[in-house]
Each structure stands twice: as structure tokens, then as C-alpha cells.
């Protein structure tokens, strides 16, 4: 059985997903594509033998579309996900699930009311080999009790469209999901720490910054965000256990000795670093759907997407108020009754 996927949004990431679904993922075909940039959508549709839908709602309703992948601008996500729920179709929504915690909550409540998990949120790190090794070390008891973590998330630079609190809502939001997942604990409070600013950063950004995340079991994560570090895309962390620590490094295949130095390359961007994770995310999703499930095992679900949105909003408040701010989550519906973050 081939899963027909409808893809909403044909920007960079949407286009990559269309290519992956049609070329690299077993068991899927791209049934329909939509973008407000209709020419781009049409060209892409033709390239992969899909239909160019006239609107995103038409795409959702299309009987050839078994499942929907949302890669549109974030402020449309909640409405589009709700439409998928209404149509009873599985949906993989690129992060964020919604741009406000309230909207994310509406999605959670709608899904909970339906009684069936259909929504998956695109936190692709859960499919990265390195992060999975870290998770396995924690869950396997290799490090004893996990107590705290250090994390860095650096980009060489960001486009002019990267503004305001996006280092929290767009960049560190990955860490919000990552550490909920790794520790299997909700985040209960955030503190955004003001740091000396890089002279190379855009004037409208606060960059770099450090965010403290407190988890329900008392563990703490200090996470650095630095979106114009200049030298590369660098995502690393060290989880400190009671007996052992495990650290995620950048993948390495070769070492070069030259010009007085011995070293390895740092990924230039997130596409290089996490390209395989994106492919594996899609493959596991399609595989789950082909097997009759509506969401892949271990994936970020709507609750995870909601929690990440609340944490991001809390961090923005902490930033604005220069103070530690507590995370307020609603009671988790029974539909999501498994360990937090799993």
C-alpha cells in the first residue's frame, strides 16, 4: 500500500519534503501539493507527478490524500491541523504546532475530543542517530540518574527575517522538545539569562543568550542559543548522570591534518546536520501509516507540540520580565497518557 501524501507549503523545507517523499521514502507518493505561490507549487507538482491543489483545504479533502504534511508558515499551522483532524487524516506538522500556546491547546483539545492521536509534530532530532544514542544511554541506565545537562545550539548566521524572540520560539524550541524527551519530564520553569551581546549580531536580536530549563524532577538544563556564531552549525549537549556523562558531538567521518591543525569539519547548516534525521522521520511516519497506525512510535505528538509552545511562550515572558517564569500546562488529557515527552 502506498500512502498518498498531500504537502501544504513548498518553501525550502516543503520542497525538500516533497523530494524526500517521492525519491527517498519507501511506500509513499506525493498525491497533491499546495502553495500560495501557485506557479512554484505547480512546477513542483508536475516534477513529481502530483496534483496542484487549488487551496489547502481542497488538498486536505482530496480523497487521494491519505495523510497531510504541513510546511506552511507557522501562523497557519493550527488551522490547517484542525482541518486535518476534522477530515480524520493523519498529519505531520512542521514545528511549531501553533504560534501561540492557546492555539496549540485548541488543537490538543480537539484531538483529545476525537479520541484518536492523528497529529505528529516535526521535531526531527528524535530521529537523529546521535540523539537516539544519548536517549538510549539515559534510558538504559548507562549514566545512573540523569541530573543536569549542558546544551549549545549555534547557527553561523540567520536571515533578516529572523527577528524578535525567534531564538527562543524558533531555535531553542528544539531544545525544549529535546530535553523533555531525553529526560522524560515536563519543563516547569524557564529563566532567560542576559548575556554580553555579540557585536556581529543584528541590532534587533539578543544574541547570544543562556536559558535555564527546570524539569519536573529537579533536573536543570543550561542551554545556550547563539544564532550568529559565524563558524558553523553546532548542536551539542552533555547529560550529566550520577555516575557517568554522555555527550552528543557533531558527527565525524574524517580528520584532516593541515596548516598546523588537526581537526574535523563542523556542519555548515542544519540541512547538512539533520538531513538524514528528516528522511528517517518521514520514513518512520510513512511506515507507521502503512502499518495502520496514525502516528509513529516515539514521535512528538500534539501534547509535545503544545508543551513546547507553552515553554517557548514562558521563555519569552522570562525574557521580557527579566525573571524566572513558571510553565503553566493544563492537565494532560488521558489520550496522551504516557510518560511525558515520549
Spell out the long-range contacts of 35-44 with Cβ–Cβ below 8 A and sequence spacing 24 or more.
Answer: 35/8, 35/9, 35/10, 35/11, 35/72, 37/10, 40/10, 41/10, 44/10, 44/15, 44/18
Q: Which whole-number Å values give the CA distances from 233 to 178, 195, 265, in the listed order? A: 17, 20, 10
Query: φ and ψ at 214, to 5 degrees?
Result: -100, 135
Using the contact rule CB under 8 A, the part of the chain among 36-44, 67-75, 97-105, 249-257 near its own copies is 249-257
Residue span 268-297 as binding mask against its own copies, x where in contact by CB under 8 A, dash where not? x-----------------------------
- Residue 158 as a binder of its own copies (CB under 8 A): the answer is no
Measured from the CB atom, is 112 or 247 closer to its own copies? Answer: 247
Distance, in Å, from the CA atom of 215 to the CA atom of 223, rounded to the nearest integer, reads: 13
Using the contact rule CB under 8 A, the part of the chain among 35-43, 65-73, 110-118, 142-150 near its own copies is 142-150
Give Dmax (Cα) for the chain.
63
Decide if 117 contacts 297 (C-beta within 8 A): no
In 3D space, the residue among 307, 270, 12 whose CA is nearest the CA of residue 153 turns out to be 270
Measured from the CB atom, is 75 or 264 closer to its own copies? Answer: 264
Q: Kindly tell me which residue out of 102, 139, 264, 326 binds its own copies, with binding defined by CB under 8 A.
A: 264
Q: Kindly tell me which residue out of 34, 123, 181, 226 binds its own copies, with binding defined by CB under 8 A.
A: 226
- Residue 179 as a binder of its own copies (CB under 8 A): the answer is no
Q: How far is the CB of 34 from its own copies (least distance, A)?
A: 24
Q: Kindly tell me which residue out of 2, 38, 46, 243 binds its own copies, with binding defined by CB under 8 A.
A: 243
- Residue 254 as a binder of its own copies (CB under 8 A): the answer is yes
Beta bridge partners of 29: 4
Instruction: List residues binding its own copies (CB under 8 A).
Output: 23-26, 129-130, 133-134, 137, 142-148, 150, 152, 193-200, 208, 210, 212, 215, 217-220, 222, 224, 226, 229-232, 234, 240, 242-266, 268
Amino acid at each position: 500500500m502506498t500512502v498518498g501524501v498531500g504537502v501544504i507549503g513548498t518553501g525550502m523545507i516543503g520542497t525538500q519534503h516533497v523530494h524526500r517523499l517521492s525519491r527517498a521514502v519507501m511506500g509513499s507518493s506525493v498525491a497533491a501539493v499546495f502553495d500560495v505561490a501557485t506557479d512554484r507549487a505547480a512546477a513542483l507538482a508536475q516534477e513529481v507527478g502530483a496534483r496542484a491543489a487549488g487551496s489547502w483545504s481542497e488538498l486536505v479533502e482530496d480523497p487521494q490524500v491519505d495523510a497531510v504534511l504541513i510546511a506552511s508558515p507557522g501562523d497557519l499551522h493550527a488551522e490547517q491541523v484542525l482541518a486535518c483532524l476534522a477530515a480524520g487524516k493523519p498529519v505531520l506538522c512542521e514545528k511549531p504546532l501553533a504560534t501561540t500556546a492557546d492555539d496549540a491547546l485548541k488543537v490538543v483539545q480537539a484531538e483529545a475530543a476525537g479520541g484518536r492521536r492523528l497529529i505528529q509534530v516535526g521535531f526531527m532530532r528524535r530521529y537523529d542517530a546521535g540523539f537516539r544514542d544519548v536517549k538510549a544511554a539515559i534510558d538504559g541506565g548507562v549514566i545512573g540518574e540523569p541530573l543536569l545537562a549542558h546544551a549549545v545550539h549555534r547557527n553561523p548566521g540567520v536571515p533578516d527575517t529572523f527577528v524578535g524572540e525567534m531564538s527562543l520560539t524558533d531555535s531553542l524550541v528544539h531544545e525544549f522538545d529535546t530535553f523533555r524527551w531525553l529526560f522524560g519530564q515536563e519543563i516547569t520553569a524557564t529563566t532567560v539569562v542576559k548575556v554580553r551581546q555579540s557585536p556581529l549580531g543584528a541590532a534587533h536580536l539578543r544574541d547570544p543568550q543562556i536559558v535555564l530549563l527546570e524539569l519536573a524532577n529537579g533536573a536543570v538544563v543550561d542551554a545556550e542559543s547563539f544564532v550568529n556564531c559565524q563558524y558553523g552549525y553546532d548542536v551539542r549537549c552533555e547529560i550529566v548522570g550520577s555516575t557517568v556523562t554522555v555527550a552528543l558531538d557533531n558527527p565525524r567521518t574524517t580528520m584532516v591534518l593541515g596548516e598546523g591543525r588537526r581537526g574535523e569539519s563542523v556542519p555548515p547548516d542544519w540541512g547538512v546536520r539533520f538531513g538524514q534525521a528528516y528522511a528517517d522521520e518521514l520514513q518512520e511516519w510513512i511506515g507507521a501509516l502503512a502499518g495502520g497506525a496514525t502516528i509513529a512510535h516515539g514521535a512528538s505528538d500534539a501534547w509535545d507540540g503544545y508543551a513546547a509552545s507553552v515553554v517557548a511562550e514562558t521563555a519569552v515572558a522570562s525574557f521580557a520580565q527579566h525573571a524566572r517564569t513558571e510553565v503553566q500546562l493544563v492537565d494532560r488529557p488521558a489520550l496522551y497518557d504516557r510518560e511525558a515527552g515520549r
